[in-house]
């Protein structure tokens, strides 16, 4: 299915020609038949879309431009430059990502989806139990989050895009920093 199936398509016939539905007085009228056949040309793509409407809401089958439209519906974090298979996957996995949004797992999944690499996430906080009151609190006294993305070519990653993905997927109250650096395998090579 392509985006052109929603516009006029030469030779596409409608399964319900309007000329056959006209009253008998117009059935033999050449002008009336030609007039409604022009409407058939406009209605044929509409029937085509309606007949395959379910495919439009299935990310793996939807036309490319409709995948982008679906991405806005489900809140997929895309910038529009991603390849079509990645955009389809982002739309298909958006609901699962929203379930874990604001968690470490959700942040890691969002970054992995956008860049294809699992990030290193360092959180400042901690939790502890103590039988004595006012015990030391684990972690840093100021809340924060640091995300490092290790890739073979750091110049290939847009740091502003990484920042936007982390900002959208992090816990809302946490300030954060991001860094893009060389992967360990590339360093050792």
The CA-based angle 2-88-92, given to 5 degrees, is 125
Looking at the structure, do residues 131 and 148 belong to the same domain, yes or no? yes
CA 143 to chain centre: 30
Looking at the structure, do residues 120 and 189 belong to the same domain, yes or no? yes
The number of folded domains in the chain is 3
Looking at the structure, do residues 67 and 93 belong to the same domain, yes or no? yes
Is 112 a member of any domain? yes
Looking at the structure, do residues 91 and 155 belong to the same domain, yes or no? no
Is 7 a member of any domain? no
Which residues face 180 on adjacent strands? 149
Closest CA to 9 of 61, 58, 36, 48: 48
The CA-based angle 19-22-27, given to 5 degrees, is 70
User: With a threshold of 0.75, does the pTM exceed it?
Assistant: no
Is 5 a member of any domain? no
Looking at the structure, do residues 72 and 18 belong to the same domain, yes or no? no
Is 181 a member of any domain? yes
CA 139/CA 170 separation, integer angstroms: 18
Looking at the structure, do residues 124 and 177 belong to the same domain, yes or no? yes
List the chain pLDDT tens, one digit each, 189 residues: 444 456 667 778 888 888 888 888 888 889 988 888 888 888 888 888 888 889 989 999 999 889 999 999 998 878 778 889 999 999 999 989 989 998 999 999 999 998 989 999 998 876 666 777 777 666 666 788 999 999 999 998 999 999 999 998 998 888 999 999 997 765 444
Is 4 a member of any domain? no
Is 40 a member of any domain? yes
Looking at the structure, do residues 62 and 94 belong to the same domain, yes or no? yes
- Provide the domain limits for residue 35: 12-51
Looking at the structure, do residues 155 and 85 belong to the same domain, yes or no? no
Is 6 a member of any domain? no
In this structure, the strands spanning 145-151 and 176-182 are: parallel
């Amino acid at each position: 299915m392509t985006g052109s199936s929603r516009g006029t398509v030469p030779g596409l016939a409608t399964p319900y020609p309007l000329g056959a539905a006209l009253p008998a007085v117009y059935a033999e009228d050449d002008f009336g038949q030609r007039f409604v056949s022009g409407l058939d040309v406009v209605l044929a793509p509409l029937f085509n879309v309606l007949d395959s409407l379910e495919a439009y809401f299935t990310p793996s089958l939807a036309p490319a431009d409709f995948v982008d439209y679906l991405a806005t519906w489900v809140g997929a974090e895309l910038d529009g430059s991603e390849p079509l298979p990645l955009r389809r996957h982002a739309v298909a996995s958006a609901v699962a990502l929203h379930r874990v949004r604001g968690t470490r797992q959700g942040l890691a999944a969002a970054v992995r989806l956008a860049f294809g690499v699992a990030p290193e996430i360092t959180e400042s906080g901690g939790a502890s139990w103590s039988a004595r009151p006012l015990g030391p609190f684990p972690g840093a006294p100021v809340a924060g989050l640091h995300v490092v993305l290790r890739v073979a070519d750091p110049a290939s990653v847009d740091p502003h895009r990484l920042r936007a993905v982390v900002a959208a997927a992090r816990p809302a109250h946490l300030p954060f920093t991001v860094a893009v650096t060389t992967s360990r395998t590339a360093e050792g090579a």
